Each structure stands twice: as C-alpha cells, then as structure tokens.
C-alpha cells in the first residue's frame, strides 16, 4: 500500500485513513493510490492535487465531510491500460462542499469513473462534479454518476464530457502555423494542467507528460 | 498577392460561393460587405483552409502558390492570418507557449526568449492589454473585445502578409474599435501587407481606409467600387441587392 506524504496537520495509518483538522493542500504526483479514506473536520478546507500516469490501477476514495468544511479534489491522469476510480461521498453535517475536478486522457486505456453518495435532508450541502475524459488511440471511458438526492435543500451538479480532441481547437492552432501533431500535444497537455493552479506542480507535470 | 478565380464552395452539400472572384494586390485594403448569412465568413474559412468547406471548382492563388494544395498550417506559414469573428478558448495553453511553438515551426530556429518576451510586452502595451495576458490561456476567460486584442497580439508576433478580418468590430466597444484599428494601421504601415475586411457596414472600412469595396450576394461579388460604395450601402442598406426587390423593380419599370 502506498502511503501518502503528509504534513503534521493530518493523522493517518497504513491504510491511508486520514483525518484533517487544519486547512491542507496535498500533492500526489504519479503515486499509486489504492485507498484513500479522508475525513475533513468542521471548518477545514482541503485541496488535493493529484496527477498520475496510469498503467493498471484501482483507486477507491471515501470522503467524509463535516459541517462548513470544504474538499476539492483536482485529479488529472493519462491512462494507458485500465483505471477504475470510485469516489464515495458522505456528508456528515450541514453547509459543506465537495468539488471534484477530474480530467483524464484515455490513451489506448479504458477508464471507469464513478461518484457515489446520498445527499439527505442535511441543509446547504454542495456537490459539484466536473468530469471530462478525452479518448485517444482507441481509448474508452465510462462516467457513472450515482448520487441519490433526497432533498431540495442542497445543490448537486454533475457535468461530464467524453470525447476526442476538439476539431475547432485543432483548426485554431493550425491556423497559427502549428502542425496538427504539435497542436494536438498542446491541447492535450493544456487539458491535463488546466484544473491546477500550483505552478510548481504544473512544471513537474509537464516534465512527466511523455508526448511533450 | 491573392487571386481567387471562379471559386465554388459547399458546406453540408449546400452551395455557398458560386463563381466567386477576387483580386487583391500587395498593399491593398479590400472590404467585402453583405447582410447576415450570405456567405461572407465562408470566404475567410475557405482561404485559410478549413476542411469543413468543400471547394468544388476554382482556384485560390497566393503569391503564385496554389493554396488549395496546402493545409491550414502551411497556409498560415505562407503568411495568411485570420482574425476570427468569435476566437475560441484553448484552456491550459498559454499565448506565450503557442507563439513560441508557432515561431519555431515557421523559422526552424529556437526562439530567443529575451527578444520574444520583450516584443510580447511591447505589443501588450500597444494594445492596452495587461502583460499578464502573455501567460494566460489562449482567450481563456476573456471578453469579446479582449479576445480580438489577443488575436492582434498573435498577429504582431507571427507577422503575416495577408490579414483577414472577419467581423472585427463584433463584440468591441467604441474605444476598443479605435485601439484595434489604430493598431492594425500601425502594423499595415510598418509591414508590406494586404488586408481583407469582412463586415456588415461602412464603419470599419472607414477606420481602416479600405480602398476597394465589394458587395456579396448570391455567392458572388455583384458590385465593386471605392469607399463611396460602402457609404451608399450604409445609407440605403442591402435592399436593392435583394432578389425579390430587383424583380419588383423590374416589374414596375415594365
């Protein structure tokens, strides 16, 4: 089991059971994560920036969130074989938010991403899912939204797209004098880095992206 | 510089241009006017090489090169540059990154970063846009006016020979139109180029001192003249070029 690097605001054990008491930003850089059980305590804000190049991996993430807490998961990946990502959301109290920004490229790989959970009558909870997959070189992907919403007192947004490289974007870059292959590389790299703000993290990512 | 002969273009099996002709010499500024949906943007897209537009007949010759044999990239490298009506966003790809690659592909030489950055900063200042645009995603989160200015930032860096402006004034406020047109005139003065302006009305043609004006109707140019033609259309509208109107006028005369 891969263990995450953590700072002293987090308690963990060998199974990546983590309880967060303070505002924390994590980075996961090309690290295999099979299980991550994270509980965000009240009034805490947690951001996880996660980039991985995947050969064969199953990842199960469980997020427990307490009142007025915020959890943002920014995850991009290049999947070269098989990747199953399961995310379970548990809202323990009111006025909390979970934001999932996931951008994946299935480069001859197959991906299934599912987000599960129940949003019951606890007030003012928010779930925002933005999951986008680009399939290249016979890659394929499935996105499964599995959120049961039992109340009108919450916000649950589920935005997903699965497609290939945009022809409009390709034409635009080619019209600036860039070859089709270089244009495609630019678009794919931009797609992967676009959900992150940390410049150091982006620089590291760019070093790892093999088509650059 | 650009000679279009008997060009016929279809999109989704619909004929848009029919025996379209145009001749732009080096240093000339031409304007093509016409109402909405008449095929003005088709001219731009066909010249630049958009594969959605099928050329069924005719020629496009640019500086003695048969453009129809070249793809979009090669046409751009020859010096053709389109300022789109609605420039799209490319999330995560910065202006600087795109321009550095475009210049490398054009010249085959690694860009001198110091000179490159200096020119980018100077151009931002000229265009009254923040220097932070240099490292922003292409057109990402920008307003319509900012996107047009961003396209001019690319233009100054890539130094094209033929500039095609598709509805440049759409999305621009009064002040921005002036900044953009002054900037284009400066580029025109300092470079040996031609400009093709696609527009609805005479305003942009006046601001850019268009010397040749053409009216597009039924897929071809039906009248050409100097700037006075644009003024006339601005005053009278396109009604007189409407087929139904022409038939009724003929019937009256009979």
Cβ–Cβ contact A31 with B under 8 A: no
Determine which of A132, A173, A177, A184 to mutate to test the interface with B (most B C-beta atoms within 10 Å).
Answer: A177
Contact A171 B91 (CB under 8 A): no
A195-206 pLDDT per residue, tens? 999 999 999 999
* List of chain B residues whose C-beta atoms are within 8 Å of the C-beta of residue A173: 90, 93, 98
Any CB–CB contact under 8 A between B159 and chain A? no
Give chain B positions within 8 Å (CB) of A168: 88
Residue spans of chain A under pLDDT 50: 1-3, 7-9
pLDDT of residue A3: 47
Return the domain boundaries, chain B.
2-253
The pair phi, psi for residue A105, each rounded to 5°, is: -115, 120
Most B CBs within 10 A among A175, A193, A202, hence the mutation to make, goes to A175
Taking residues B105-117, report their average pLDDT.
93
- Among B48, B49, B91, the residue with its CB nearest the CB of A190 is B91
Chain B partners within 8 Å of A172 (Cβ): 84, 87-88, 90, 138
pLDDT on residue A74 = 97
Neighbours of A34 (CB within 10 A): 12
| Contact between chains at B88 and A173 (C-beta distance less than 8 A) | no
Q: Do B137 and A194 touch (CB under 8 A)?
A: yes
B72 close to A (CB below 8 A):
yes
In the predicted structure, residue B248 carries a pLDDT above the cut 70: no
Measured between beta carbons, which residues in chain B are less than 8 angstroms from residue A205?
Answer: none
pLDDT band of B10, cuts 50, 70, 90 = very high
Q: Which of residues 89-148 of B touch A (CB under 8 A)?
A: 90-93, 97-99, 101-102, 105-106, 137-138
User: Touching check for A177 and chain B: CB below 8 Å?
Assistant: yes
Say what percent of chain B tops pLDDT 70: 95
Chain B residues within an 8 Å CB radius of A186: 90, 93, 97-98, 101
Q: Answer whether A173 sits within 8 Å of B77, measured CB to CB.
A: no
Asked if the ipTM is above 0.85, the reply is: yes
Distance CA A151, CA B215 (A): 60
Q: What is the pLDDT of residues B155-187, one digit of tens each?
A: 999 999 999 999 998 878 888 898 899 999 999
Residue with tokens 């939204």: A145
For chain A, give every domain's residue range: 10-165
Q: pLDDT tier at B226 (50, 70, 90 boundaries)?
A: very high
- A203 CB neighbours in chain B (<8 A) are none
Whether residue B220 is predicted with pLDDT greater than 80 in this model: the reply is yes
- DSSP letters, A8-20, are TTEEE-TT-EEEE
Residue of A nearest to B48 (CA): A175
Residues of A in contact with B101 (CB under 8 A): 178, 182, 186
Count Cα atoms within 13 angstroms, Cβ side, for B236.
Answer: 11
Strand order across the beta sheet in which B194-199 lies = B80-83, B162-166, B194-199, B29-33, B212-217, B220-225
Is the CB of residue A209 less than 8 Å away from at least one CB of chain B? Answer: no
Cα B195 to Cα B64: distance, rounded to the nearest angstrom: 18
Q: Give per-residue pLDDT as tens, A3-44.
A: 455 543 455 566 778 899 889 998 999 988 889 999 999 999
Instruction: Decide: A76 and A192 in contact? Cβ < 8 Å.
Output: yes
- Superfamily of domain B2-253, CATH level 4: P-loop containing nucleotide triphosphate hydrolases (3.40.50.300)
Residue A14 is predicted with a pLDDT of: 66
Label residues B126-140 b or e (16+ Cβ within 10 Å = b): bbebeeebbebbbbb
- Cβ within 8 Å of A, B 200-239: none
């Amino acid at each position: 089991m891969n263990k995450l690097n953590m700072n002293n605001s987090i308690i963990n054990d060998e199974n990546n059971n983590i309880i967060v008491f303070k505002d924390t930003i994590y980075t996961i850089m090309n690290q295999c994560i099979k299980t991550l059980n994270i509980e965000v305590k009240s009034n805490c804000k947690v951001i996880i920036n996660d980039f991985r190049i995947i050969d064969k991996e199953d990842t199960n993430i469980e997020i427990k969130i307490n009142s007025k807490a915020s959890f943002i998961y920014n995850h991009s990946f290049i999947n070269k074989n098989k990747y199953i990502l399961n995310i379970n959301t548990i809202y323990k109290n009111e006025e909390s938010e979970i934001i999932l920004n996931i951008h994946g490229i299935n480069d001859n790989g197959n991906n299934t991403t599912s987000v599960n959970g129940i949003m019951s009558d606890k007030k003012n909870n928010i779930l925002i899912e933005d999951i986008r997959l680009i399939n290249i070189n016979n890659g394929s992907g499935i996105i499964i939204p599995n959120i049961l919403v039992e109340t009108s007192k919450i916000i649950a947004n589920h935005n997903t797209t699965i497609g290939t490289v945009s022809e409009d974007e390709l034409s635009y870059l080619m019209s600036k004098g860039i070859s089709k292959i270089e244009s495609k590389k630019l678009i794919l790299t931009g797609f992967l880095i676009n959900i992150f703000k940390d410049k150091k993290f982006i620089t590291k990512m760019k070093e790892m992206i093999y088509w650059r | 510089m650009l000679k279009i002969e008997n060009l016929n273009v279809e999109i989704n099996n619909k004929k848009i241009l029919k025996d379209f002709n145009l001749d732009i010499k080096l240093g000339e500024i031409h304007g093509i006017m016409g109402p909405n949906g008449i095929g003005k943007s088709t001219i731009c897209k066909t010249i630049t090489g958009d594969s959605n537009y099928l050329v069924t007949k005719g020629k496009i010759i640019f500086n003695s090169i048969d453009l129809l044999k070249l793809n979009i990239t090669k046409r751009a490298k020859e010096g053709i540059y389109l300022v789109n009506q609605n420039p799209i966003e490319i999330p995560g790809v910065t202006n600087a990154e795109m321009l550095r690659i475009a210049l490398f592909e054009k010249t085959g030489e690694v860009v001198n970063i110091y000179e490159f950055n200096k020119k980018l900063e100077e151009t931002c200042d000229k265009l009254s846009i923040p220097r932070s645009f240099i490292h922003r995603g292409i057109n990402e989160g920008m307003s319509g006016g900012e996107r047009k200015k961003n396209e001019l930032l690319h233009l100054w860096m890539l130094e094209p020979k033929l500039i095609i402006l598709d509805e440049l004034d759409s999305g621009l406020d009064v002040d921005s139109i002036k900044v953009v047109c002054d900037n284009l005139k400066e580029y025109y003065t300092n470079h040996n180029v031609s400009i093709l302006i696609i527009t609805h009305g005479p305003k942009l043609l006046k601001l850019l001192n268009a010397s040749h004006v053409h009216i597009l109707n039924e897929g071809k140019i039906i009248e050409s003249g100097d700037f006075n033609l644009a003024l006339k259309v601005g005053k009278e509208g396109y009604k007189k070029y409407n087929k139904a109107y022409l038939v009724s006028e003929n019937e009256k005369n009979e």
